[in-house]
């Protein structure tokens, strides 16, 4: 039944669906990825073709399955403390913010949080630098599945090993018995991180303002017009002088003039 490749016509139809839902354009070279990730859903529904699957998810009463397809097609590669130089810079920024007069709450947004490694890394850093001061992290993603995993804050040993030992001892609980080999972020840290489904291609909810936004390894999936739209919308959620971090394989050169580069991959909102 399943094993046949997706036809060009059906792939184009699925590509239009996914781009409409996420803003991400699937290149022709992604056909193998699409088949690999969606074939199990065809087996689940005992369908013979991707055309039948598209008929299914485009039915009005299949909202949950549409979200499932989006979750499966969304790339969610992440690690704790990914790109360490960003966290070195982030610590310096937090110390500067801590000296800000009036002591307003410090807010940070992880705008493509995946399974939670980035926002929890931000939260551990903020806890270390800011202590008992008022601070919070908003963590958002398009995929409901990864958000569910992120809220739980449970990770396998290979992920746990990415956390510096001194931080792991303070903020991570080791499982035992049937949970042996699993680790959970401490509740005191989890309560500082709020998870929310947000599609960056749609009008943003009433959140913020933020002192720092992390939007790393996201823009590579969008065309120039979409990049501009996303960045300009996010910048409106930054405080004046707030910082936007993007991935080391990305640049905003020629994309927007709403921010200025202060070092590679770190941008500041213009006054």
Beta strands 266-269; 259-263: pairing state: antiparallel
Length of the chain: 271
37 as an active site residue: the answer is yes
Catalytic residue among 15, 71, 107, 141: 141
How many CA atoms lie within 13 Å of 82's alpha carbon, on the beta-carbon side? 21
Distinct helix (H) and strand (E) counts, the chain: 11, 10
Q: Running DSSP on this structure, what letter comes out for residue 205? A: P
Tokens of 163: 């956390």
Residues 185, 160: Cα–Cα separation, whole Å: 10
Cα–Cα distance between 192 and 49 in angstroms, integer? 45
Matching residue, tokens 């040993």: 157
Gap between the Cα atoms of 232 and 21, Å rounded: 20
Residue 5 DSSP code: P
Sign of CA dihedral 154, 147, 32, 34: positive
Active-site residue (options: 37, 91, 151, 159): 37
216 is catalytic: no
Which residues are marked as active site?
37, 141
């Amino acid at each position: 039944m399943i094993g046949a490749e997706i036809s060009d016509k059906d792939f184009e139809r699925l590509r239009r669906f996914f781009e409409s839902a996420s803003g991400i354009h699937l290149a022709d070279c992604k056909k193998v990825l699409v088949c690999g990730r969606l074939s199990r859903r065809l087996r689940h529904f005992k369908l013979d073709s991707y055309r039948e699957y598209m008929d299914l998810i485009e039915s009005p009463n299949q909202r949950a399955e549409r979200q499932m397809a989006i979750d499966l097609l969304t790339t969610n590669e992440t690690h704790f403390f990914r790109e360490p130089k960003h966290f070195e810079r982030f610590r310096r920024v937090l110390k500067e913010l801590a000296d800000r007069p009036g002591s307003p709450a410090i807010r940070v947004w992880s705008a493509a949080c995946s399974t939670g490694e980035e926002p929890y890394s931000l939260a551990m850093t903020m806890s270390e630098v800011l202590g008992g001061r008022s601070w919070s992290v908003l963590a958002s993603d398009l995929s409901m599945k990864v958000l569910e995993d992120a809220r739980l804050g449970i990770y396998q040993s290979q992920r746990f090993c990415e956390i510096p030992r001194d931080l792991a001892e303070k903020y991570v609980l080791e499982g035992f018995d049937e949970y042996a080999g699993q680790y959970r972020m401490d509740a005191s840290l989890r309560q500082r991180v709020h998870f929310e489904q947000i599609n960056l291609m749609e009008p943003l909810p009433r959140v913020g303002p933020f002192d720092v936004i992390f939007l790393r390894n996201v823009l590579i999936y969008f065309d120039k017009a979409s990049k501009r739209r996303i960045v300009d919308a996010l910048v409106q959620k930054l405080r004046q002088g707030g910082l936007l971090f993007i991935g080391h394989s990305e640049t905003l050169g020629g994309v927007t003039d709403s921010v200025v580069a202060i070092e590679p991959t770190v941008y500041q909102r213009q006054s």
